[in-house]
Amino acid sequence: MNSANIFRFALMGLTAAILAACGTKRTPTPPPGQPPLPVTPGAPLPAGTPLPPGHTLSPGGGAGYKVVAHSALPQWNEQNFANSLRSFRLGCEKLQARPGWQNVCAQAAQTPGSNAAAKAFFEQYFTPWQVSGDGKLGGTVTGYYEPVLHGDVKQTAQARFPIYGIPNDFVSVELPANLRSSKGTVRIQPSGQNKGMISASGQYSANLAQFPISERTRALKGRFEGSRFVPYYTRSQINGGALNGKAPVLGYADDPVELFFLHIQGSGRLKTPSGQYVRLGFADKNEYPYVSIGRYMANKGYLPLAQTTMQGIKAYMQQNPQRLAEVLGQNPSYIFFRQLPGNDDGPIGALGTPLMGEYAGAVDRHYITLGAPIFVATTHPISNHAHNRLIMAQDTGSAIKGAVRVDYFWGYGDEAGNVAGKQKHTGYVWQLLPNGVLPEYRP
């Protein structure tokens, strides 16, 4: 998952015209049937006062936000607003406690599930802000999904590749912002299970120059070794056996490449031979930056860059197993999982609520308010027609960086994976915030 800004347009009208032209190529398909939303009748709540179209805000970080009318969003009137409302209501479990969101969540709970009522809700209670990054309206939209791996809860001749929980020796230490650019040494004190803290009296020393620290790093992830606190193992080291006997194993995958993509997606389901499903969610990570193995393979001449999709990489590895350790090891980032309750809800996103397939996505929470509705205008990866939809920003990802950057959640299983693996297109983003709530840049 790579972030990129593709085009810059100086005028909103030019962008709208381009998107509208794309829309004429789209072949609408009827949305899947959805059960009616439960409704608790009540009097309409105050909706607040929206700012007028044309109002701009530049809070920092290179981000820009401009108020537009709902009708300026491409194919706004063709949306399945009932599905968008269903997705938004899932997020209200967390949003309803935030200032400025109480009324909209309460109103969402009592809004009928018809498309017309849901459309009126979004138009009455939200202000659309077009998002730009470093002066550019165009950004990148990729796709992700919840994979289904084949494997077992116990190790077998077929299921041999462990899915790890948080290791016993894994320690997370909160890193203050003033130390993110430091190359000095600090002292670390254990403070609980898998936790530590920076303390002048700590018995372990940590050389910050050895850790993969960026301006966004919030914690050091490491382990105690003698009198030192050192960075945690890389993917290559873990695949080589560094965690043997040091971490709980939640299950075993049949295919190491499928397991790799589980790490990329951050959650998934493990299907056992008996038909049992084990739901897996993100627990923590070793804090190394994500590195694209697709770009590495293209640079090495293993695959043309255009073929480094998820499907292309899988096919190549099946034909060239001798390069498996080399290629997978190029991405040092490693994810640890936790077992989630088995149910039919979607995977749990960074907001802490289930994600609804095709109506949720991951964003950079520095620029987009987590939980907010976002309107995404992009291209469908299969039909190549315009794909314009009102979804919810309910997840994040380490590779999702930038103001105009969305990772679109397509659902779970092989069909969703086929679509997600081909998604990488130019896109445009509008953030919908409750009337009176302003966009923020959060460093």
Binned at pLDDT 50, 70 and 90, residue 41 comes out as: low
Superfamily of domain 1-167+248-291+331-443, CATH level 4: RlpA-like domain (2.40.40.10)
Per-residue pLDDT tens for 293-312? 999 999 999 999 988 877 78
Read off the pLDDT of each residue in 194-204 and give the average, rounded to a whole number: 97
**Mean pLDDT lowest among 23-27, 49-53, 225-229:** 23-27
**What is the mean predicted confidence (pLDDT) over 94-122?**
95
Q: Which pLDDT band, with edges at 50, 70 and 90, does 101 fall under?
A: very high
Angle at 363 between CA 360 and CA 368, to 5 degrees: 105
| pLDDT given for residue 343 in this prediction | 60
Predicted pLDDT of residue 83: 97
The three state secondary structure string of 265-315 is: HCCEEEECCCCCEEEEEEEEECCCCCCCHHHHHHHHCCCCHHHCCHHHHHH
Distance CA 220, CA 240 (A): 23
Q: Compute the residue count for the chain.
A: 443
Q: Which pLDDT belongs to residue 232?
A: 98
Please report which helix (H) or strand (E) contains residue 418, including its range: helix 414-420
Give the pLDDT confidence score for residue 344 in this predicted structure. 63
Residue 40 has what pLDDT?
A: 66
- pLDDT surpassing 90 at residue 21: no
- Contact criterion met (CB below 8 Å) for 227 and 220: no
Confidence of residue 15 (pLDDT cuts 50, 70, 90): very low
Taking the C-alpha atoms of residue 358 and residue 409, their distance in angstroms, rounded to an integer, is 6
DSSP assigned state of 437: P
Where are the chain's structural domains?
A: 1-167+248-291+331-443, 171-231
Rounded average pLDDT over 38-52: 84
Task: Indicate the CATH number of 171-231 among 3.90.1140.10, 2.60.40.1930, 3.30.2320.20, 2.40.50.270.
Answer: 2.40.50.270
Q: Pairing mode, if any, of strands 195-198 and 171-174?
A: parallel
Any bridge partners for residue 231, and if so which? 222
pLDDT band at 24 (very low <50, low <70, confident <90, very high): very low
Can 1-167+248-291+331-443 and 171-231 be said to share one CATH topology? no
The DSSP annotation for 392-415 comes to EEEE--TT--SSSEEEEEEEESHH
- The pLDDT tens digits for 229-285 are 999 999 999 999 999 999 999 999 999 988 998 998 888 999 999 988 899 989 999
% of the chain residues with pLDDT over 90 = 78
Q: What confidence tier does 373 reach under pLDDT thresholds 50, 70, 90? A: very high
Mean pLDDT of 87-114: 95
Q: How far is CA 310 from the centre of its chain?
A: 17
